[in-house]
């Protein structure tokens, strides 16, 4: 039963990653747990769950880029992004229920995430251009956000790759996170980016909220890059 699968997942949960912000830990993971239990009972594979996540996310991205900028569509976009993010959490949990994941599944998950992160903000660029053709300076916000988000995600993956080669705990090692740290990192949470689209039909409000998240992402990357550079520099030091 779905309830049994949910309970099994709940018992198998590990501590969250040290760099995981609050929404991802305390909301999205639990939503993903529910979806994972349902998917497991339906016999879906982790890769199929990843595809479901991609369908939700890229449907939202297409609406951002090409659909009318209205309040109802903004709500739909936010819902699709939230569900896409929850399904993204569910694929790994389905793999756990089935006895473990695979390198192919991990590749697919990261490939979809990379494409989503890069294309989401470019879709915002297109959508804003359609409603703000005479204010090109504001279009710099999604351009900067796209660069920062893609660089941050790539940096995290590269950190884990290099640390793994040197048998050092990765950025996403489980069990190292704290509530305080998760709350501090909340402004950098992709879940907040999903929810900001409830303001999509109210362009001034959206720009303020979206711009604030962009500024938080820039600040996080600036601080994280210095930390990561120092950590990677120590990998070659003798023990």
Query: Could you read off the pLDDT of 48-59 as tens digits, one per residue?
Result: 999 999 999 999
Using alpha carbons, select from 168, 124, 166 the residue that is nearest to residue 145: 124
pLDDT mean over 63-88? 97
Using alpha carbons, select from 73, 157, 144, 83 the residue that is nearest to residue 114: 157
pLDDT in tens, 163-193: 888 767 655 555 555 667 777 777 788 999 9
Cα-based distances in Å from 188 to 71, 107, 213, 231:
24, 24, 7, 21
pLDDT in tens, 107-119: 999 999 999 998 9
Q: What are the φ/ψ torsions at residue 226 (nearest 5 degrees)?
A: -65, -45
> Of 72 and 235, which is predicted with more confidence?
72
Using alpha carbons, select from 39, 35, 37 the residue that is nearest to residue 7: 37
Alpha carbons 45 and 30: distance in angstroms, whole number = 19
Answer yes or no: is pLDDT of 229 > 70: yes
Tokens of 203: 């362009």
Domain boundaries of the chain, sorted by first residue: 53-84+100-236
Answer yes or no: is pLDDT of 124 > 70: yes
């Amino acid at each position: 039963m779905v309830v049994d699968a949910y309970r099994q997942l709940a018992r198998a949960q590990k501590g969250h990653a040290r760099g995981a912000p609050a929404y991802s830990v305390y909301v999205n993971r639990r939503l993903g747990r529910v979806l994972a239990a349902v998917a497991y009972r339906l016999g879906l594979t982790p890769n199929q769950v990843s595809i479901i996540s991609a369908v939700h996310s890229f449907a939202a991205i297409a609406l951002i880029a090409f659909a009318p900028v209205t309040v109802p569509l903004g709500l739909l976009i936010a819902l699709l992004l939230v569900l896409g993010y929850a399904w993204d959490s569910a694929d790994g949990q389905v793999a756990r229920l089935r006895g473990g994941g695979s390198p192919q599944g991990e590749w697919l998950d990261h490939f979809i995430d990379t494409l989503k992160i890069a294309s989401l903000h470019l879709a915002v660029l297109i959508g804003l251009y359609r409603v703000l053709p005479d204010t090109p300076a504001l279009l710099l916000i999604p351009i900067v956000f796209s660069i920062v988000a893609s660089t941050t995600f790539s940096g995290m993956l590269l950190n884990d790759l290099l640390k793994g080669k040197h048998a050092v705990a990765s950025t996403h090692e489980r069990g190292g996170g704290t509530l305080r740290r998760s709350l501090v990192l909340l402004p950098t949470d992709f879940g907040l980016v999903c929810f900001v689209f409830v303001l999509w039909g109210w362009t001034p409000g959206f720009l303020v909220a979206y711009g604030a998240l962009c500024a938080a992402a820039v600040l996080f990357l600036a601080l994280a890059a210095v930390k990561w550079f120092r950590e990677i520099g120590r990998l070659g030091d003798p023990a």
